[in-house]
Structure 1
Amino acid sequence: MSKATFAVSMIALGLGCSSAVMADTKVPVVTSFSVLGDLVQQVGGDHVAITNLVKANGDAHVYNPAPLDAKAIASAQLVVMNGLEFEGWMPRLLESSNFKGNKVLAADGIDTIKGHSCSCGGHGHHDDHDHDHDHDHDHDHDHDHDHGHAHGEFDPHSWHSIKNVKVYVKNIEKGLTKVDPANADDYQRNAALYIQKLDKLDVKLHKKIALIPEGKRKVITPHAAFAYMARDYKIDFHAPQGTSTESEASAGDVAKIIKQIRSEGIKAVFVENISDNRLIEQISRETDAKIGGQLYSDALSEPTGPAPTYLKMMEYNVDTIVNALK
């Protein structure tokens, strides 16, 4: 074997070893639910090994952590959660796991909407409640609902706004860079490319929704998960349940929605992938509103389903709404 060939062989071996070592040193990241699992994968790429807790079609509102979850958190370098009190079970899980790593609250710094547990809709027209959320918020804001809040002061379903998810992506990029500075350039590049995809999708979705006159964009869903989509795309959402699937819809709430469907001629009601949909089925039976399809609210679909990624979920939800309202 010539010296040159030998040198090339050694380099090849060396590269083989280094890539094997790199594969073994992926950053262990735990994400609280499937939307965040996808976003971390988009930014982290090959550098991360993700354990996602609340799986596809799972309901993070009522999740009951398993012993394996605590084990995954104990060995994670980074935990990524939504924040805004969405994962009520997470603080206890972090404590019991004795977690000492870094934590990212993905929703830090977004434009929040007031949360409430009543069945009111039309958030698209209440932009005066929005402000930057920075965890030092003043709890004495005036607001037009004095109902108990299912989660906290703010509606936590903030991933239904692409504008907000761009903030999520930057927060994830910062978190990954902090625990793995060696790959900072890759995280920055991945985040920038993904934000371009988000911007492109946003333009596309606005065009699709523009096909429905604003006065006809009225939608009923099981729980109040779509206020951010309502605000961004001027859709009027109403729900018999509040912002948590744990909140019970009263007979009065249901009667009010049935009356509203009849008086406003609302054409479609929707089921959700994570909710008990019997209430919506009852509302559909008692009115002329048809079930317009299933929306993905708090979880992605399984990989073979129609909403396995965040980008696909947003497009699928908008397509489902537009098709039902045409």
Structure 2
Amino acid sequence: MLFYIVLFLGTISLWWHWRARDRMKVTNLTGKYIFITGCDTGFGNMAAKTFDKKGFRVFASCLTETGAKELKAETSNQLQTVLLDVRDSDSVKKVAAWIKAEVQSEGLWGLINNAGIMGPSAPTDWLDIEHFREPIEVNLIGLINVTINMLPLIKQAKGRIVNVSSVGGRLAFSSGGYCPSKFGVEGFNDSLRRDMKAFGVNVSCIQPGLFKTPLSSPVKILKEKEIIWNQLPPRTKKQYGEEYFQKDAAKKEKLTKICLNEDISLVVECMEHALTSLYPRTHYIIGQDAKWFWTPLSKMPAAVQDFLLLRNRAKPAASHAN
């Protein structure tokens, strides 16, 4: 009996110690430089506004002039916007050179690699290589390219790198290029974290579940899938059946209603912790769906994963004939 009491008290003590350690903050961060990609909308947009209000000197990259103009209108004069397509290597180098001139000897305290796209989500045999190429170019190659170009400035400041991945980097819950790109982000993040330890640079990975943002809009995803469906050759359509698209859309809509998180500030709070905590976490799992479904499922046997994930897909007509 005494053993269990000691074990219980020891567990409580460790938990309180961890909580206290988790709340410890780095001091004197006001005025530090940070660079955030993908600030037109969603996580990046809210992060840029949040960190600007907290006194950071924010460089916010946007894909469009409209996005940059709207963000600038809603933030202080201290925040600076820059147009950047992370797929364009020349543009990435120019932005890195511009930031280097701005920060000078201080270096860059934080890099938040947030820019990303979903890309078409459809069965693999509906897609061509270009459907895969775009999300991989943006979500993975672009992220790596930005990181490589910013690393000297991050090392100079002994700062932080925050890579926005996804539960789709732990479990391939959809077909298309999105999950392969995020699996790649996870691999790059882990190797980068180990490489940077010797230089005092902390690397964190954020793994959000399904959040309501413009880029992950269920309506947008469905429209992209419908365009691909309408262009399929007759033989492929026959294999799936004319009713497949509508049945599958209904199943996806039901799953989305259950899993979709609306409060994107939860993701920004993790970004803030990763940038300001004395002991940032290596991984942040965000969203009730991520914590209680996707992440536990990712650790289960493949047979269990397949069974549960296939229940949320319509069956092709050809499978009924077998």
State the TM-score, normalized to the length of structure 2: 0.34
Which has a greater percent of helix?
2
State the TM-score, normalized to the length of structure 1: 0.34
